Amino acid sequence: MVMDARTGEVLHSRNADTRLHPASLTKMMTLYIAFQAVERGEITLDTPVTISRNAANEPPSRLGLRAGQTIRLRFLLRAAAVKSANDSATAIAEAISGSEEAFATRMNRTARAMGMTNTTFRNAHGLTQEGHLSTARDMTILGRHVIYDFPQYYNLFSRRSADAGIATVHHTNRRWLDSYAGGDGIKTGYTRAAGFNLVASAQRGQQRIIATVFGGSSTAARNARITELMDMGFGQAPRTASLRRPAPPGVMSGNEGARTIRPSGVVSTSMRPTARPIPEAPAAPAPEPAPDLLLSSVDTDVIDALVAEAVTAAIAEAIIEAETEAPTPEPAMAMAIATATPAVRPVPRPVQGAAAAAETVALAAVDQPDPTTTTVAPTGPEVVTRISTSGGRHWGINVGRYDSRYNAERVLLRVALNEMSSLDGALRRVVQRGGGFDANFMGMTREGADLACRRLQARGTQCFMIGSDG
């Protein structure tokens, strides 16, 4: 298979869809998911990884890890990319997903999202295993994603040697990289069942070509064939072409359910709790309440008006944001503003006596009542209390990390408006971390977070769950 990496155009193929053993070409996916996990904050390059007996017992090629040893993730990545170390690949998988089996599930879901329709992964290293198969086309697609989705890490695949913490490792394809002008990666693979495999890439000027060979009879024969394919690609590809990056596949962490939900459009209405009836308060003279105090009761019509005001304000903010990109607002959005109920401020009711006023002062001051509040009517004065949402709502979802708080808040608002049905009641929260600002929705149940993530991924929005049952 020969592909123009800039456009994804196939320039040559022969038996490109024949399912064969990929051998260590598998590690391209292992490393891709590791880069993805680092980018999403699931793990860091300096996270210490404790080596399991399973990882330490992997056959060569190996870094030489020992069971119980601790080593930073960055060294495992270097060993897997440069030396093609099987023990390092297994340790990476277990550090990210807990087990190699769970990691293989994530590998397969990511492969499907990339369009790798004829690939099945059973392990993270590529050693021969029944059912562990791929094709030249699928591996070319994967190589293109590695180049364009994580350019900051791509240099790993062209390093002739690297410090892997406990040893200096040397590249498995130094001979071809040194002999071919512009060659800068990507990955070799060999087992007896697979033969000599290689996904290679080279750049000359504005041209970049990816070529893949399965089943070479020797290293020399494989390198000679890949050189022929590369020369063919540079000869056929145009000198200049518009770069069409592949669409990132999103995060497939293993929380996704078996069903795929394909929403037909934005939900126009969402259910809200019905306010309990408020009993008549006994008439009695009372001092004028302070303007900051929480009101002892709220009329249902006022609640509805305030909810409408909040929704209108959110929609108006989204339209102002959209107008910076397109001069004409969406008709449905303009209609929502035109028909929105005007804001109505609640009228204070008298506070019953000095004791009731003292109780009211103790409550948190707010300007607008929340539609999730409930009125409690004891024998004494009425006090509005908020229903706790903490029980079981320890989960949330992350929809990206951004370079500024403003950008993270913009994304949260846009996602909330586009997915009102499953995010209704979730709290928008921006959390600053070392790499930027995380855009999170919090205060959700596990089932609610899972549903929201699947719906967002069906729309093409990257998302993963955060939180725990505890």
Q: Is 388 a catalytic residue?
A: no
pLDDT value for 452? 87
Q: What is the pLDDT of residue 278?
A: 52
The percent of residues above 90 in pLDDT, for the chain, comes to 54
Largest CA distance in the chain: 99
Whether residue 84 lies in the annotated active site: yes
Rg for the chain (alpha carbons), in Å?
29
By the 8 A CB rule, do 464 and 109 touch? no
pLDDT of residue 250: 72
Query: Do 458 and 317 share a structural domain?
Result: no
Asked if 91 and 213 sit in the same domain, the reply is yes
Of 160-169, 328-337, 416-425, least confident by mean pLDDT is 328-337
**Bigger pLDDT: 460 or 303?**
460
pLDDT above 90 (res 462): no
Tokens representing 178 are: 């040194």
- Write down the pLDDT at residue 417: 81
Domain residue limits at 80? 2-236
Encoding tokens for residue 292?
């900051």
Of the residues 24, 97, 253, 422, which is catalytic? 24
Q: Which one of 161-170, 362-371, 392-401 scores highest in mean pLDDT?
A: 161-170
> Residue for token digits 């929201």?
452
* 38 found inside a domain: yes
CB of 374 closer than 8 Å to CB of 383: no
- d(CA 334, CA 323) in angstroms, rounded, equals 12
Same domain, 374 and 409: no
Highest mean pLDDT pick, 13-22, 364-373, 434-443: 13-22
**With 50 as the cut, is the pLDDT of residue 302 above it?**
no
Both tokens of 278, joined, read: 């408020």
The angle formed by the CA atoms of residues 113, 117 and 119, to the nearest 5 degrees, is 100
pTM of the model: 0.57
Residue 40 located in a structural domain: yes
pLDDT at position 126 over 90:
yes
- 330 and 190 in a single domain? The answer is no
Give the highest mean pLDDT range of 346-360, 384-398, 410-424. Answer: 410-424
Mean model confidence pLDDT for the chain: 79
Question: Within a domain: residue 371?
Answer: yes
Same domain, 207 and 134: yes
* The one-letter amino acid at 148: Y
Same domain, 337 and 432: no
In a domain, 248, yes or no: no
Out of 210, 236, 262, pick the residue that ends a domain. 236
Overall domain count for the chain = 3
DSSP label of 20: B
The answer to whether position 214 is within a domain reads yes
- Active-site residue among 52, 61, 83, 84? 84
Bridge pairing between strands 436-444 and 395-402? antiparallel
Shared-domain flag, residues 93 and 219:
yes
List of long-range contacts for 268-273, beta carbons under 8 Å, 24+ apart: 270/420, 270/421, 270/424, 271/424, 272/307, 272/371, 273/371, 273/372
For the chain, helix, strand, coil in percent to 5 are 35, 20, 45
Assigned domain for 268 exists: no
Write down the pLDDT at residue 359: 40
The verdict on residue 272 lying in a domain is: no
Beta bridge partners of 375: 384
Half-sphere exposure of 422 (CA within 13 A, CB side): 23
Give the pLDDT score at 461: 83
Nearest one of 324, 231, 279 to 12, comparing CA atoms: 231
